[in-house]
Structure formats: C-alpha cells, structure tokens
Structure 1
Amino acid sequence: MDQHRNKATILSILCMGLGQIYNRQFTKGLLFLAFEAVSVYYFINNLGFALWGITTLGETPRTSANLHEGYDHSIFILIQSLITLIYLIVFLIAYYLNVKDARKVGQLRESGKKANNFMESIRYVLDYKFSVTLLTIPSLGILFFTVMPIIFMIMIAFTNYSAPKHIPPAMLVDWVGFDTFKNLLALKSWSYTFYGVLTWTIIWAVLSTVTTYFGGMLVALLINQKGIKLKGLWRTILILPYAIPQLISLLVMRNMFNGQFGPINQYLRYFGLDAIPWLTEPMWARVTVILVNMWVGIPVSMLLIMGVLTTIPKDMYEAAEVDGATGYQKFKIVTLPMILFTTAPTLITQFAGNINNFNTIFLLTNGDPVNGKYQTAGSTDLLVTWLYKLTLQSNRYNMASAIGIIIFLIIASFSIYNYRRTKSFKEEDMIQ
C-alpha cells in the first residue's frame, strides 16, 4: 500500500530528483538533479579546503620568497571556509525538502490522485505558498549578508587577529580559544578600560533613557492640557530637533559647546562668568552629551506619548473625577499606567538603543576627552565607540569582536528579561 511513497522516498534519498522523476514530475526532478550536480562539483573543489582552512587558518605566511602567490591569508581562508560550510547547510536543507516532497507526492499517488506537473506546481506555489516563496530570497540574503558576518565576528573573537603581530598576510592568525575574553576581563591593562567604559555605558544608557522618556512625557502632558492654545504650533516647534537630521544637529551642538570659540561660552564670558570646559573635561563632557541627547531624544518620546494620550478613554477620567480624584491622582491612577503599559516595550528598545548610541557620542565628542589610563578609549566612549576605535584605528579585531559579543549578551539579556516582565507582555488583552 505504501509502494509509491516508499519508492519515491528511497530514490530521493539516493539522489536528489529521482523521487520526483519516479512520480512523473520530470522538470522538477531534473532541476533537483542539476542543483545536486552543481553542489557536488562545488563541494569536491571546496569542502576539503574549507575543513582544512577553518581548522588551521593557513600554514604559509607571505615572505619575500612568495610575495605574489603561494601564501595563505588567514582571514580570506576563514571567510571562504565559512561560506562553504553555510552553503553545505543550505544544501542539506534542500536535500531534506527534496525527500519530503517526493514522499508527499508518492502518498498522493497512492490515494489515486494525479501528481502536479511543473506548471501546476508553480501555480500552487504562487497561489498557496506565495508568502513562503517571496520570503525565500530575502532569507538567503539575510543568511549570507547578516548571519554569516555575525558568525564571522564571533569566530574572530576566538583568534589572535590583532596588530601588530597577527595581521595577514605577513603573519598568520591562530585560534586561541577564550584567551581574548580572559585578557579583556582579567588582564589589568585591558580590564581597567573595559570596566570603566562598561560602567559609563550603563550610566549613560540609564540617564539618557530616563531623561528623554520622562522629558517627552512632561512635554506631551503640557501640550495636551485643556488650557493650552495653538497646540499645533507647539507640536511643530518641539518636533524640529527631531525633524532636522541628527548629523547636522550634533555637529552644530559640537560647535556651540566649543570651549574656546563656542557661542555658549562667549555668552558666559559676556556676563562675567567663567567659561565651562564642556567637551574637554571628563565630567562636563559626560553632562554635555546627556543634555544634547535630551535635545535630540525628547521629541521622539513626546510624539510617542502624545499618540498614547489620544487613545485613553475619557470615561476613565470622568469616573476618576466622580470619585473626587485630583489632577495628580488622575495622572497617577489613569494616565501613567496606560502610558507605561503601551510604551514599556518601546522604553526597553530605547534603553537597548542608547547602549549602542554611536552617533551622539562619536559626532559630539568622538569619545574624548582622552583618558591616559584607558587603552585607546576616551572618557565618554561607550562600548560601541570603543569597539569602533579598536577596529578602525588600532586594528585590534579580536578584542573588538569580544566586546561586540559582550554588548549583544548585555542587550539581549536585559531586553528579554524586562520585556517578559512588562504588563504589555503578560496582559496582551488589557486594552481589547
């Protein structure tokens, strides 16, 4: 009874496409056969090299004797090996789908139904599996252009790929296990910088998130008051910092806070006050970046919260007034819980974004002022800007990769833990 199903399954396991040919789906079977032939040819020429390369990362550095050919470039070998292994995974998935398809069609034949021809199969895919078909190409793109670079970065963290001793092709790169993480977390010259930058990153993320969120809430509540006239004008004025490209805003602010020529210090001198080292003294530089971030970030929170305020039913306020609630009590009992319920996931996202807020720090201070006790990091550097300097200025790629992994672990752990504790996750039907 299972004759067609079993035969098609066995044939498709032996060779891609044979099961489809057995089921009289000749065009589909030939396409599967062609895909396997191309893949096998590719693996014959590259799989052995990939396994050797990802294990050894090369054996022959470039010297004066082999200046133009005959040397190994560890990073190119790692990338080529990674591409081959990812393609192998894609091939195995396609092989599984080939077996599954042949078995399914064989089962249809056993029930007396006719197998679809090639055009009918295409029509079925476009009509009933259109979403899956449409997502296939972007998924492959994400696999090779997003997932693969992430895997590559993770692998770099377990090598000694850094200046000055291990930069290909003159020198080879080797696997070193967790030595990079040990140096970053325990070696004094690196750990002092890491813990200092990590502490400031967390302080920055908390302060910048709290100030922009509650600042935006305050502005939204003020504009939403009944006695405020020209609300549209106020909204327009207050949204201008967000409407102007951040690059322009931050560079203008950098000039305004210039300690010597900036207009802010010039006004202070005009009134007989001492100039403030806004960007050259570590504590003042940190205060400055938080203030400027408020200027850029408050309009975003204001827009978000103003949208939430329009969704709160007026009946809730009327009921609170009947119970004799004051304005503050209405805010505490009605407004604030509804705002937090709706915006809690966004608040978590803002915190995660501020940990990686590269633009504000880089464009405003470039991580400066310089800290002589740090390894290539300044007093306002975040982990992400320090990572940038380690990569493009110091060529410490393994350290930068290790920091990237740590940033991901911090953000992922915080976001998942806090999102699952929010009421918007636990009580999805609250406002339904």
Structure 2
Amino acid sequence: MEEESDVLLRVNHLKQYFRSGDYINKAVDDVSFYIKKGEVFGLVGESGCGKTTTGRTIINLYDPTEGDVYFQGLRISSTQNGLPVLIRSLKNDFEEKQRQMKAALKEKTEKNPAQAAALKAEYDQKIKEMRKELKEKIRQARTNALESSVEKSKCVEKYREKRKAELTAAFEADSKTLSGQALEERKARYEQDMKVAAKDNIMTKMQMIFQDPIASINPRMTVREIIAEGLKIRGIKDEKYIDEKVYEVLDLVGLVREHADRYPHEFSGGQRQRIGIARAIVLEPDLIIADEPISALDVSIQAQVINLLNDLRNKMGLTIMFIAHNLSVVKYFSDRIGVMYYGKLVELADSDELFEHPLHPYTKSLLSAIPYPDPHHEKHRQRIEYKPLKEHDYSVNKPSLREIKPGHFINCNDEEFERYKKELGL
C-alpha cells in the first residue's frame, strides 16, 4: 500500500480472531487499506464478512490479534491482548499440517513398503523444521506484541504534546491581533484548552456511529446528557460551554433545542440516529466510522441521513469510513470502495472504477444483485452467483492483495493476476 502525507488512517495486515475452545474464528484475516483526509471510504460485503469487526477493531473496541492501525501517523493498536489467540491459531495450523503429512506418509508407505524407513526419516525432518518455524513465529509474535504495546502507550503523550503545540501556536497568532478584554477572554480560553489537552486522548478524534440507534444510546439519559457525556469525559467542566456545544450540534443534525431535555423513546428511528450522529460529532473528530447507519431506518429516512452526513462532511471537513450493504448508496456517497468476503479484502478501487471495471467474481456477484427501478431491465437481469471453490484454485499458488492498475487492488494469485490484466487490456 502507498504511503502519503495526507493519509489519516492506515491499516496494515489487520487480523481479528475469536477463540471458542480450540476453534479459531478468523473474523478479519489480513486486511490492509488506507483512508485519506477528507474522503469517504466505503466498506461493503455480505452479513458476517467482517466489516463491523474491522471498524470496531480500528476504534479499539476490540484488541487486534495481529497487525497495525496508525491514526494521524501514531500507532493506536496493541496486539498484547490478542497474543494468546494468535498463538493458538499458529498451533492449530501446525497441527492441521502435521495431520495432513501423517496421512500422506501412511499412503506412501502402503504403496512403497520398502521405502518406509526413508519416508519416515523425511517426515521426521520436515516436522522438526516445522516445529522450529513455529517457535520462531511465536517468538516474533511476542516481540511484536510487546513493541506494539509500548508504542501505543507512547502515542497518547505524543498526541498531547502535538495538541499543546497547536493550541499555543494558535493563541500566539491571535494575541498579535487582539487587545484589552478580547485578549483576556482569549487567554482564559487558551488556559482552559491547555487543561483539557493535558488529559486529552487521541481516540477522541475518532468516533463511531452505530447501526442500531436505540441500542447504542442509554434510555435513562436525556439527549443533553447523551451528547454531553463525551465532553465531560474529556475533562470539560464549563456547563455553559457544554450547553452551547449541545445546542450547536443539535442544530447541525436537524434537531432543535427543545429536544435536549427529552428521552430517546420519545423520538423516531431517524431522529435517534441523528442523536447518535450528534454524539459522534460533538468532540469534533477527524474520522467517523459509520457502521451501517441507515440499514435500520425506513427507506424514506435513509436519504435524509446520507444527505446529513454529506453536509457534515463538507462543513466540518470530516473523513468517513462508511460500512454498508447497499452498493447504490455506497457508490453515491463514497470516494473509494473496499469489498470484503469472509474476513478478507478482495477488491479495492475508486468508486467509479469499481463499478465500471469490477474484476473479482464476488464483486461482480454483488453488482449483479443491485435492483433497478425498471421492470424491463429487471425482467432480463442476469444474476451472477459466486462459487469460491469453482472460481479459485489456491491449493498451491496462494492469493495476495495486488495493485493491478493505479489505485485498483485485487486479491488474487499469479495466474488470476495475468487473467485480470488481459481483461483490462493491460
């Protein structure tokens, strides 16, 4: 993946595994992408493909099993808590490969009894090498986990120093143009901001809008308390300032001041989602992870919420990671789109490029499922069914995410890569 100065979020080889006994569920398996400042990055795929888990891992609701998450150039993830699951996964892979080799040895020995000793010696040597390789992988995983933990702990201090420098530079610039009462007020605000910056956390600059608006807000809190909670946690104690910020964001999301003293059950689904959006933007984040923010809403309300997010993006300069099912909405709203299938990113491209030149069979399958409001078109629409075992042979040549043309990445092996290049006329 390319490294650019305007990249706000960078995800490298992210893995999120969950353990149940000896079974390992690979919810997110080696996902890499970046999001530039000010853009909307769409993440699509069927239910259970790992979209939401990716978003939750990025924002630290889950500790990643392996991989790195960088935000504003600082590492915000640690694999320390995910290490036991990774080690169990590595051991499971070793044991599975050992079982396959043992079965292959038995078959070869039955066919060539005279070679039994030589075959057994060869098997023992391979197992010895595999055990050595496993120990090295575990040692490396432990080293990476420790390094990530140390780096993550330092990122908060680095962010606070950076924030204090920005506030000081802004205050010094304003001081040259102000005098008297105005200067005193600016100085008081600067001192308050510095107190907040001393306890600030980089994660306040990343917020999430959840899929179900009623499940993600406390029914026992008023709208004012829900929205103001983040400000209070951040260390802001000025009640007048807090009220002003609450009224300001309520106005931004299309609600009125009178709504501040009501409870969530008094609102419709669309209004509740607006409250969730208000809670996310009150801390003035740089990145918002919108986890299917319209899927639980009525179709007539969905367009309103999308237009609201678009307006906020332009007014506040937000960067948005937009997780969704509806490809038509994603195309309208997103600058770039990533397609996920079974925990892996299978294709990544600009919005127009992905719709005009889809390459991966799963992407083609998704696009063929988009309904159009035209009965004649629908009558003759050909639905493409994706069958992984039929489409791919990864028994020997394993796939990886490759750039087939500038900005267009696809998960494929060498043979498929050449085929896709011919398809694009490259």
TM-score, scaled to structure 1? 0.20
Where relative contact order (Cα < 8 A, 6+ residues apart) is larger, the structure is: 2
Larger strand proportion of the pair: 2
